[in-house]
Amino acid sequence: MYLISIEGGDGSGKGLAAKIVTEILEKEFTFTSVEKTGEPRRDHPLGRLAIESVKMQKLKPEGEAGLFAADRLDHSHGWILPHLKEGRSVVSERNIHSSLVYQGIVGNLGLERVAHMNSAALIPDLCIWVDCDPEIALKRIKAGTLRNLSDKKEYFETSELQRKIRGGYKNLLSGRFEMPTPFDMGAIIGPILNETSENNFRKNLTIAVKNFLHSKPSPINVETHDVEMFHLRKLMNSLDGQSTLEDIGLQPLRNNKNWLGNSKPWKILLDAQKTHHQKLQKSSKEDNILFPKSILSHSISSICGTLSLMNSADISELREALGPVRNVSYSHSRKIIKFLHSELSWISQTKTILSGETPKSRLKDDYYPFGRLLLIIWPIRSEIKRWQKSNPNTHLRFSLPQIIKESQNFQAINSMISRLNILGNGRKNNNNNNNNNNINSEEDLIKWWNGS
């Protein structure tokens, strides 16, 4: 979902930074996976051509830049982009900013020229700038470890050129030089110094990565909708493959087709809001407001919605199923699960032979339709909250028709339609023709909302 590049001069600690950032992403967030890569690619013919051009020093900067750009373009669309579309994050040791510095600034080719040559490549969502004094960096290179791993002879092993490279990164990534389009779209964090202890380096990288991801930035290279659709299809396929194991403590699977029963979607949401509001009022009187003010909050919607696609799950299983779009931190997931279980009684918890000491959470049957509904209305949760605030005396059933009529966010409405056709509209189909139950238009969506 996100492309994160690690940039800096030779010997600055990019490899270590890439390792640390990968570990942080794997531990703290719920991407499908975290893939580590680098440029130029030593295991690909295009990457090896680029490396050889630097070693042999037979090409002018423009020729070198062209080889690096060719490798990057193939890497971007042949390997990185397919991974991003599946909700994976990619950590790349070097990317476009290396070419901008090495060929554009140090090689005097110019930033605009290099950017134009790479304009079809992917744009890093985040560039992490690792910095180190050139003298320290050269000592690391010459110590043998880096040379043995990557044959650093192809790079510029002189203090003078290392200072030029460091200055190039400083001018480009500090904003002193204007970042050329389209690569001005990504975020830049740094410089993060790597001149003291590894613990200090890790601490600063952890803060930087968490701050970036907790802001929930929209990915640059893929649509969030496409990532979520891939993940929901994956969850639905997993649900279809689950088996019933009542003898060891697991409850039977629920009806995945007729999840609405005879209820209207707006009525399900309204009833859940009333229950939550009553608990909120009671807690307010007791001066003990310790939970989300709205059931349409990201955390409740994500956890209840995800549990509606699982028979039961412990915290780890739940977070793995959340995916990158519905991500909730581990500590906050525990708090929301405790609130849903102890305060609202919307989920049950059991310990089974398989789960051992870790309790499995299951959305209770009465709130199973609510959980599935939250996944459907996910794209317009904020609009429903705003509508209710602006129309306190108007019935909730009028919210969706008015939002559709007044909203300019056609993508959100289309996303709802896509979700319904993946997750099912919740109505039992008495006919063999599945097309009868498909939602294809805004009119169909309103009829479904009203229970028609």
pLDDT digits (tens, 9 = 90+) for 385-413: 999 999 999 999 999 999 998 877 788 99
State whether the Cα torsion 292-293-296-297 is positive or negative. Answer: negative
If you average pLDDT over every residue of the chain, what do you get? 87
CATH topology of domain 3-222: Rossmann fold (3.40.50)
Distance, in Å, from the CA atom of 305 to the CA atom of 12, rounded to the nearest integer, reads 44
244 pLDDT tier (thresholds 50, 70, 90): very low
Mean pLDDT of 70-90: 97
User: Mean of the pLDDT values across residues 210-234?
Assistant: 94
Report pLDDT digits (tens) over 362-390. Answer: 999 999 999 999 999 999 999 999 999 99
- Give me the residue spans of the domains in the chain: 3-222, 225-449
Using one digit for the tens of pLDDT, what is the confidence trace for 317-360?
A: 999 999 999 999 899 999 999 999 988 999 999 876 655 567 89
Q: Which residue has the higher pLDDT, 101 or 282?
A: 101
394: how many CB neighbours lie within 10 A of its CB?
Answer: 12
Please report the pLDDT score of residue 306 as a whole number: 95
The Cα–Cα gap between 13 and 193 comes to: 9
Helix, coil or strand: residue 77? helix
d(CA 349, CA 230): 29
Displacement of CA 129 from its chain's centroid (Å): 21
Which whole number is the average pLDDT over 418-442? 75
The closest of 404, 416, 387, 394 to 443, measured between CA atoms, is: 404
Does residue 142 surpass a pLDDT of 80?
A: no
* DSSP strand pairing (347-350 vs 360-363): antiparallel
Note the Cα 323 to chain centre separation in Å. 7
Is residue 431 scored above 70 in pLDDT?
A: no
Helix (H) or strand (E) holding 126, with range, is strand 126-131
Per-residue pLDDT at 59 exceeds 50: yes
**What are the structure tokens assigned to 31, written together?**
């991407």
